[in-house]
Amino acid sequence: MDLVTPAIGLVFWTVLIFLILLVLLGKFAWKPILNAVKERTDSIREALSSAEKAKEEMAKLQADNEVILKEARIERDKIIKEARDLKDQTIAEAKNQAKAESDAIIASAKAAIENEKRAAINEIKDQVAKLSVEIAEKILAKELSDKDNQKALIEDLLNKTNIN
């Protein structure tokens, strides 16, 4: 059976050529190819990890921004509130002050009016008294010339006085 008997010549050439091929391919093909592939794998891995890192950084930054923004918003609200309070307070104070002032003015005006009124009444009283005295003098001067008249007058005055 020739087919299953290895021919020495072909074995020899196969060994020789295969070993040469192994050395040449090993040195000039497999080594550079596998090195290049490894390098590429490493660089891809590195790029991926750095991208991941950048993404994380970005997320962190975004979170920071959010916090800052939130704080700013709170600050703004606080400032606005403060301002509003201040305004309200100022207005209230002004109102109170104005009221107090106006009250004082009104009170003093009332007092002045009262005084004036009293003075005027007193003056009127004086005038009335004076006029009354003058009239009385004149009437008396005229009436008292007659004794009857004097008596009647006195009685009349007395009556009137009692009624009063």
Partner 1 sequence: MKRVFAFLSVLFFAFALIASEEHPADNHTTNQEKEFDPTEVIMHHISDAHDWHLFDLTNKETGELKPVSIPLPVILLHDGNLDIFMSSEFHHGHSNVKKGDKEYTLYHKKIYLAEHGELQFDEHQHPTNAMPLDFSITKNVASLLICAVLLLLIFIPMAKMYKKGKGIPRGIQGFLEPIVLFVVEDIAKPNIGEHKYKRFLPYLLTVFFFIWFNNMLGLIPIFPGGANLTGNIAVTFTLAFFTMVITNVNGNRNYWSHIFNTPGVPWWLKYPIPLMPFVELVGVLAKPFALMIRLFANITAGHIIVLSLVSLIFIFKTVWISPAAIFFVLFMDVLELLVALLQAYIFTLLSALFIGLAVQEHH
What's the closest the beta carbon of residue 43 comes to partner 1, in angstroms? 8
Residue 145 within binding range of partner 1, rule CB under 8 A: no
Which of 132, 113, 134 is closest to 124 using CA atoms? 132
Residue 43 within binding range of partner 1, rule CB under 8 A: yes
User: Between 13 and 42, how does the x/- string for binding to partner 1 read (CB under 8 A)?
Assistant: xxx-xx-xxx-xxx-xxxxxxx-xx-xx--
Burial of 153: CB neighbours in 10 Å, binned 0-12, 13-18, 19+: middle
What's the closest the beta carbon of residue 49 comes to partner 1, in angstroms? 18
Residue 8 within binding range of partner 1, rule CB under 8 A: yes
Structure-derived torsion over alpha carbons of residues 85, 86, 92, 97, reported in degrees to the nearest 10: 160
**What's the DSSP call for residue 144?**
T
Interacting residues toward partner 1 by CB under 8 A: 1-15, 17-18, 20-22, 24-26, 28-34, 36-37, 39-40, 43
